[in-house]
């Protein structure tokens, strides 16, 4: 067989192409590898030691907890709401413009659609656009209720053109159980 040879490497083209690729990879491997900053120094992104980068969200966009009321009496006095599912979330509901729903809800654990009133339920919704606080609903609590919702439409603010971050502070209170105050985050 008659193979064409490469004038640069004096061999077959396939071998020559492989040799060029190996040279390129070895020359650029130092660029591709990320260098860890020395301990106790600030990273090139301005993040100090022990600090959490702003794009890392420690709180999920949804939290839930199952709680049980202590009932005195016979088994016949049990109801769907003796064991409850408490749920809180921060949810983006807008498709085009940014719209946020901050919700706390109390439901029957066996049937998540069945509402269970508790002594107090509340939510506080906030959102930041490009690190500036855009709105703060303040904590809003309702007595003897199963739901508390705060909704906010951010007019002329688009998820694809802005850095938007939302947070909900939830409040659940029931006698015999106590209080639960989780936080949820979300971004678009």
CATH number of the domain bearing residue 125: 2.60.40
Any domain includes 43: no
Any domain includes 177: yes
Kindly report the average pLDDT of the chain as a whole number: 73
16 and 67 part of one domain: no
- What is the Cα–Cα distance from 145 to 124, expressed in whole angstroms? 16
114 and 183 part of one domain: yes
Out of 43-52, 55-64, 98-107, 142-151, the most confident range is 142-151
* Residues in a beta bridge with 171: 122
CA torsion angle 150 155 156 157 (round to 10): -20
Any domain includes 42: no
- What is the Cα–Cα distance from 126 to 154, expressed in whole angstroms? 11
Find how far residue 99's CA is from the centre of its chain.
16
131 and 183 part of one domain: yes
State which residues form the domain around 162.
62-71+80-187
- What is the Cα–Cα distance from 107 to 85, expressed in whole angstroms? 5
At 5 the pLDDT is 52
152 and 92 part of one domain: yes
Among 90, 100, 71, residue whose Cα is nearest residue 159: 100
Q: How many folded domains does the chain comprise?
A: 2
Local confidence band at 143 (pLDDT 50, 70, 90 cut-offs): very high
- pLDDT at residue 29 is higher than 60: no
Any domain includes 38: no
Any domain includes 109: yes
**Segment 40-57, tens digit of pLDDT:** 444 444 545 544 444 333
Angle made by CA atoms 27, 28, 33, in degrees to the nearest 5: 130
Any domain includes 57: no
At 161 the pLDDT is 72
């Amino acid at each position: 067989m008659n193979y064409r040879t490469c004038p640069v490497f004096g061999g077959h083209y396939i071998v020559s192409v492989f040799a060029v690729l190996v040279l390129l990879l070895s020359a650029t491997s130092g660029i591709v590898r990320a260098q860890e900053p020395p301990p106790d120094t600030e990273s090139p992104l301005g993040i100090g030691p022990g600090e959490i980068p702003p794009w890392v969200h420690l709180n999920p966009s949804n939290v839930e907890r199952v709680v049980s009321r202590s009932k005195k009496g016979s088994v016949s006095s049990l109801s769907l709401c003796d064991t409850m599912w408490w749920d809180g979330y921060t949810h983006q509901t807008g498709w085009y413009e940014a719209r946020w729903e901050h919700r706390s809800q109390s439901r029957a654990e066996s049937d998540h659609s069945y509402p269970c009133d508790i002594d107090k339920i509340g939510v506080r919704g906030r959102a930041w656009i490009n690190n500036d606080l855009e709105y703060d609903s303040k904590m809003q609590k309702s007595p003897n209720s199963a739901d508390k919702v705060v909704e906010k439409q951010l007019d002329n603010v688009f998820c694809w053109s802005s850095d938007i971050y939302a947070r909900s502070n939830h409040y659940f209170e029931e006698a015999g159980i106590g209080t639960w105050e989780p936080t949820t985050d979300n971004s678009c």
